[in-house]
Amino acid sequence: MNTHANLTALIALALSLFACGSDSGTDAAGPMEISGVWDTSGCLDNIVEAPGATDYIVTRDIQVRADLCIKPGVVVEFAEGEWITVYNEGSINAVGTAEEPVIFRGSNATPGSWGPIIVHSESALNVLEHVVIDGSGAAPGGEGLGSPCSVAVGYLTDKEAQLAIRHTRIVDGLGDAIVNYATLVEVSNTTIQGHENAPINSRFQGISALDSGNVFESNGVDAILLDQRELLMPMTLTAAPVPYRVGYGPGTRLVGAVEIAAELNIAEGATLQFEPGFGLLVTPTGTLTIAGSSDAPVTLTKTPEGDNWSGIAVVSENANAIDHAVISGTGGEFPSGGWGITPSSDRTAAVYVGNNVDAAATVSVTNTSFQSVAGSAFYRFDPVNTVTETGNDYGGIDVIAEH
Ligand SMILES: [Ca+2]
């Protein structure tokens, strides 16, 4: 970082502090160039009153190393190839209003000309609310992000980072709109539209806080992409505007089952699609609760274009329960993953119970429809494992095959 960069950031901060002390809220100063290290906590104030006019131009990438707030009505314009990174000692709190959103956009309107907004910080102040993020989606060099996106939360090694997004529009960007390596505390009342790939690409854990007011439409991939790594803390997947798709997530290209080592709840109306070679594996510390309803079942299925998925394996003695679900397109071989579930073409099923080793697994499946299942509904490795089933529609397949 050169002196000029630091200086311009300091000038911007000085102006910000000046503006904070003035109720007039404006002067003739903008737009103002900013760049470099933000190392003193403060705000970017709304220095140009005209709606939509640029307040600040980012001429070189911003490194946020203190608390940064951005006031309603602020338009931040990024020069070609520039972006913003919020490090752990800093935070970003961009909170506009419905009438005066905070706008992030590029000087060049071409999608991907700027970005992303990268949040490594664990601060609860990290909030984007009433924000517009327009035309982002660059992949900055040296940031460990393999693919373009508009917003990135954390790195692979940075799992404590967190961000809440509310009443925000993320539009017309390259890559995925949000890539989450850490925790999306909340995504609510947010529209993601016209993005090249998926609205959200996330590790499995850390995606639970999606609220029903979101609109994800006209994106290149109409799914929330979830990777297959393990679940280590309780979470609930709620119904979303597009299906969840379990498969290749950020930073991973390994095929396998999501290892459910904590409580996973899947709420009514949620749809999960699984890429071939992927499934759910409930380990001894995990509990799977699928709670659909007759009006809004939970659907577990293959991707529209893919081969069959691997199904559900339960190696847990906890109260695993599947109610009012539709399970379809299973019968792909189950990835063994070291849990004694040996792949075999003659024992394919939708739900595997127990393993070849030691578990006295238990699962209850009720009011559930099995469709396009290759093999049987259940495969039970040993009579010590318990299957409770009632009210299911098997569509003519064998109910329980045994080892
Ligand atoms: Ca303004």
pLDDT in tens, 26-57: 445 679 999 999 999 999 999 999 999 999 99
Please name the residues in contact with 23: beta carbons below 8 A apart, sequence gap of 6 or more: none
State in Å: Cα 337 to ligand 1 middle: 54
252 and 348 inside one domain:
yes
State in Å: Cα 52 to ligand 1 middle: 6
50 and 165 inside one domain:
yes
State in Å: Cα 103 to ligand 1 middle: 9
State in Å: Cα 39 to ligand 1 middle: 23
State in Å: Cα 273 to ligand 1 middle: 43
274 and 141 inside one domain:
no
Domain that holds residue 329: 230-403
91 and 120 inside one domain:
yes
371 and 327 inside one domain:
yes
Which residue ranges of the chain lie beneath pLDDT 70?
Answer: 1-29, 140-146, 156-159, 249-255, 335-338, 340, 342-346, 356-359
State in Å: Cα 110 to ligand 1 middle: 22
State in Å: Cα 85 to ligand 1 middle: 22
Q: Round to whole Å and give the CA distance between 285 and 233.
A: 11
Sequence-ordered strand ranges (E) for 315-385: 320-323, 325-328, 349-353, 362-366, 369-371, 376-380
215 and 239 inside one domain:
no
* DSSP-assigned letter for residue 7: H
Q: Round to whole Å and give the CA distance between 44 and 72.
A: 9
Q: Which of 199, 222, 245 is where one domain is finished?
A: 222
Q: Which of 206, 222, 238 is where one domain is finished?
A: 222
Length of the chain: 403
**What pLDDT does 205 receive?**
78
Q: Round to whole Å and give the CA distance between 400 and 387.
A: 9
State in Å: Cα 45 to ligand 1 middle: 8
**What pLDDT does 21 receive?**
36
State in Å: Cα 78 to ligand 1 middle: 15
Q: Read off the pLDDT of residues 112-145 as tens digits, 9 standing for 90 and up.
A: 999 999 999 999 999 999 999 999 998 755 455 5
Beta carbons within 10 angstroms of residue 141's beta carbon: 8
**What pLDDT does 22 receive?**
38
Query: pTM here?
Result: 0.88
State in Å: Cα 54 to ligand 1 middle: 6
Beta carbons within 10 angstroms of residue 358's beta carbon: 12
Total number of domains in the chain: 2
The answer to whether residues 249 and 278 touch, using CB atoms and an 8 Å cutoff, is no
State in Å: Cα 49 to ligand 1 middle: 5
State in Å: Cα 97 to ligand 1 middle: 12
218 and 236 inside one domain:
no
State in Å: Cα 48 to ligand 1 middle: 4
Q: The domain spanning residue 300 has which CATH number?
A: 2.160.20
**What pLDDT does 15 receive?**
45
Q: Round to whole Å and give the CA distance between 255 and 129.
A: 36
State in Å: Cα 56 to ligand 1 middle: 9
Q: Which of 222, 253, 269 is where one domain is finished?
A: 222
**What pLDDT does 160 receive?**
84
207 and 339 inside one domain:
no
198 and 110 inside one domain:
yes
Question: Which residue, 307, 277, 197, 281, is CA-closest to 242?
Answer: 197
**What pLDDT does 345 receive?**
65
Beta carbons within 10 angstroms of residue 340's beta carbon: 15
Q: Round to whole Å and give the CA distance between 245 and 30.
A: 45
State in Å: Cα 74 to ligand 1 middle: 4
Give ∠ CA 137-143-149 in degrees, rounded to 5. 20
State in Å: Cα 234 to ligand 1 middle: 42
Partners of 163 in the beta sheet? 184
The answer to whether residues 102 and 94 touch, using CB atoms and an 8 Å cutoff, is yes
260 and 197 inside one domain:
no
State in Å: Cα 53 to ligand 1 middle: 6
171 and 319 inside one domain:
no
Q: Round to whole Å and give the CA distance between 189 and 365.
A: 34
259 and 317 inside one domain:
yes
State in Å: Cα 72 to ligand 1 middle: 8
